[in-house]
Amino acid sequence: MRKRIFSSLAIILSAALALSGCASIPRTSTVQQIEAETDASGAESYSYAAEGPAAGADARAIVEGFVEAGRSVSEDYAVAREFMDAQLSNTWRGDTQTLIYDAFNVVNGADANQYTVQLEITGEVDEHGVRTNYPDHSTRAVDIEVAKVDNEWRITKAPDGTMLEASTFTKIFAAQTLYFYDSSFAYLVPDIRWFTSGSGTTTSMVEALLDGPAPYLQNAVISAFSTASELVRSAVPVRDGEATIDLNSNTFAEATDRSILLMRQQLETTLTGLASVDSVKLLREENEVNLSTEDTNIEPAKVNPSTQDTLIGISDQYLVYVKGLSIIPVGGVPDISGYDPRDPAMSPVGNRYAFLNGRRTQLWGIDDSGQLRLSLEGQELIQPSMDLAGWTWTADNGASTPIRAVPADTEMKGEARPIDVAWLEGAQIDSLRISRDGARALIVATEGNSTSVYVAGVIRDAEGVPRGLTDSPMKIYPEVPVNTALWDSDSSIIVAELGDDEAVEAAQITFEGGSEHLQLLLGMVGIATGVGNRREVYAETNEKLYTRVGNSWHELDDFAQDVAYPG
């Protein structure tokens, strides 16, 4: 399975290596053109014809030519291997990683006949299409050794993988979305990957899907496919909009009608994101997969489901709804004015609410019957977030284990649970929001003078009880200062550094790598955004409430503070 994934991604990675060579070093080989070809997926596939080593080329030119040749993916990087001696040529693999850089230089290494490719990198893509981004001015050094072979310089030692200049990376690679299920199978959770645009994209996507989720989602999401699932051949042909996926018998060893339908749904949702795919056909070693009975059905899993368009807020010490231009008191709830309520939250389903007292030392909950209950006491609690499974999340920055999850029914399920997260040890939690699908946590955390934005999977048991967060979070690097982050869709967020004494610039960031800056707003102390189409973005100062119109802020006639969408 992994070998097949590596083969597909070899194309990606080799394209990357050669392209990296066009940054700032001089070239000794003839510069070749990049040609765009239309492929079966509807995108453009870029190929590069590179020159092999020139006779009598010096050692540095061989290193530079090797980097250039990585763009030629034909015959498993045949041109790149011409720059190597026979032993390295037989063992080197171009498909293990792609380093994405803004600039690079080749310098003499520490030892004789050694060179170092110095890179200023922005990210890397691994053999499964998982991309890791890095902050500005991150560096990486790639050491390469050369020796004389038959009186010609050749590379004798080089790490596996390739290098690719950032602007060319976006021409060769494209973001694609794989989908996995949440723990209830009610939602499909996106897992953004990067693959080369070409006829092999469908194959790479299916192989990556069968191999499982990205590290930051492992144990937080579920695949309908077992670990024994593999393609019979490393190919997913697409004809007349139909992708044919031929899987081994082990895939269906214990499969029920329901699990087969879940497999098909997972594949369809993943592959129909490609322009070339409208449907999928599932085969078991060349035989069509049929259900034992036609009566079996599953509830379609939701993708990026919309939140309610009604927000919760505080006005004159009371809970209010904010919808469009209207502010309406919440009925059927007790008088909470004595608690000086702040930072309310509303459940995505039902009529449950939570809020903090004015000193942020107490978290209070209101259940579906309107009963008020103290949920948690702490020292420095942050705005709560309520998930679909009935849990209310907050953080107590006065505790050694800050993150807390409170069940809807404390009498049946116990008190607040501390969520131990090793990689957040010693950090202050500034913001915590659970995604609409309940499978991911969006966290802003500060340690010392450094503030970071993370997305981590929420690990739950079979009953939906949260047990922890995944060990390898995805880290996001905003272009604006940050102390809060909100889900804007299932694959985009809005971040900002709220404060009442400066102009605040919020930014929308997509997991595919795009970003958009919102108009500055002086003294922005709150921002609210909801998942789904046509969900307005609200911003507030200490005295006014605004909605976003285009990229401008429109002041509302009425005022509510601490407004928040459900969730």
What is the per-residue pLDDT for 17?
34
Helices (H) and strands (E) in the chain, counts: 8, 40
What is the per-residue pLDDT for 83?
97
The mean pLDDT of 67-79, rounded to a whole number, is: 79
- Match 């809020």 to its residue by tokens: 355
pLDDT digits (tens, 9 = 90+) for 106-129: 999 888 899 999 999 999 999 999
Averaged confidence pLDDT in the chain: 89
Q: 99: closest CA among 162, 145, 43?
A: 162
pLDDT digits (tens, 9 = 90+) for 157-187: 999 988 888 988 888 889 999 999 999 999 9
Taking the C-alpha atoms of residue 564 and residue 205, their distance in angstroms, rounded to an integer, is 36
- Match 């119109």 to its residue by tokens: 549
What is the per-residue pLDDT for 340?
98
pLDDT at 88 over 70: yes
Q: What is the band of 197 on the pLDDT scale with cuts at 50, 70, 90?
A: confident
pTM above 0.95, yes or no: no
Higher-pLDDT residue of 5 and 459 is 459
pLDDT at 464 over 60: yes
Residue 358 — φ and ψ, nearest 5°?
-60, -30
For the ranges 20-29, 52-61, 229-238, the lowest mean pLDDT is seen at 20-29
Q: What is the band of 299 on the pLDDT scale with cuts at 50, 70, 90?
A: very high
Taking the C-alpha atoms of residue 194 and residue 187, their distance in angstroms, rounded to an integer, is 22
Q: What is the band of 99 on the pLDDT scale with cuts at 50, 70, 90?
A: very high
Q: 179: closest CA among 437, 478, 421, 461?
A: 437
pLDDT at 43 over 50: no
Helix axes 2-20, 59-69, angle to 10 degrees: 130
What is the per-residue pLDDT for 48?
67
As a whole-number percent, the residues of the chain with pLDDT over 90 amount to: 76
Round to the nearest angstrom and report the end-to-end CA distance of the chain: 39
- Match 């990049």 to its residue by tokens: 34
pLDDT at 431 over 70: yes
Q: 204: closest CA among 439, 81, 36, 39?
A: 39
pLDDT at 34 over 60: no
Q: What is the band of 15 on the pLDDT scale with cuts at 50, 70, 90?
A: very low
Task: Assess contact for 25 and 61: CB atoms under 8 A.
Answer: no
pLDDT at 294 over 90: no
For the ranges 4-8, 172-176, 231-235, 558-562, the lowest mean pLDDT is seen at 4-8
Taking the C-alpha atoms of residue 363 and residue 190, their distance in angstroms, rounded to an integer, is 31
The mean pLDDT of 529-536, rounded to a whole number, is: 86
Q: 126: closest CA among 252, 241, 2?
A: 2
In one letter, which amino acid is 76?
D
- Match 């080197």 to its residue by tokens: 92
Domain boundaries, the chain: 2-172, 174-288, 311-564
What is the per-residue pLDDT for 348?
93
Residues in the chain: 567
How large is the C-alpha radius of gyration of the chain?
Answer: 27
Upper half-sphere CA count for residue 267 (Cβ side, 13 Å): 29
Ranges assigned E (strand) in 477-549? 484-489, 492-496, 503-504, 507-510, 515-517, 521-522, 526-528, 538-540, 545-549
Q: What is the band of 11 on the pLDDT scale with cuts at 50, 70, 90?
A: very low
The pairing of beta strand 538-540 with beta strand 526-528: antiparallel
SS (H, E, C) 377-419: ECCCECCCEECCCCCEEEEECCCCCCEEEECCCHHHHCCCEEC
Q: 205: closest CA among 227, 235, 182, 171?
A: 235
The mean pLDDT of 478-494, rounded to a whole number, is: 96
pLDDT at 3 over 70: no
What is the per-residue pLDDT for 508?
96
- CATH domain 311-564 topology: Neuraminidase (2.120.10)
| Cβ-based neighbours of 31, under 8 Å, separated by 6 or more | none
What is the per-residue pLDDT for 22?
34
Task: Specify the DSSP class assigned to residue 217.
Answer: G
What is the per-residue pLDDT for 407?
94
Taking the C-alpha atoms of residue 2 and residue 320, their distance in angstroms, rounded to an integer, is 54
The mean pLDDT of 226-244, rounded to a whole number, is: 96
For the ranges 68-72, 170-174, 546-550, the lowest mean pLDDT is seen at 68-72
Q: What is the band of 200 on the pLDDT scale with cuts at 50, 70, 90?
A: confident
Task: Specify the DSSP class assigned to residue 532.
Answer: S
**Other beta carbons within 10 Å of 323:** 13
Q: What is the band of 560 on the pLDDT scale with cuts at 50, 70, 90?
A: very high
The mean pLDDT of 530-535, rounded to a whole number, is: 84
The mean pLDDT of 27-36, rounded to a whole number, is: 30
Q: What is the band of 45 on the pLDDT scale with cuts at 50, 70, 90?
A: low
pLDDT at 438 over 70: yes
- Match 């097949």 to its residue by tokens: 4
pLDDT at 10 over 60: no
Taking the C-alpha atoms of residue 42 and residue 199, their distance in angstroms, rounded to an integer, is 9
pLDDT at 482 over 70: yes
pLDDT at 31 over 60: no
Higher-pLDDT residue of 453 and 32 is 453
Task: Assess contact for 228 and 250: CB atoms under 8 A.
Answer: yes
pLDDT at 28 over 70: no
For the ranges 105-114, 281-290, 339-348, 451-460, the lowest mean pLDDT is seen at 105-114
What is the per-residue pLDDT for 413?
61
- Match 């001089």 to its residue by tokens: 26
Q: What is the band of 543 on the pLDDT scale with cuts at 50, 70, 90?
A: very high
**Other beta carbons within 10 Å of 335:** 10
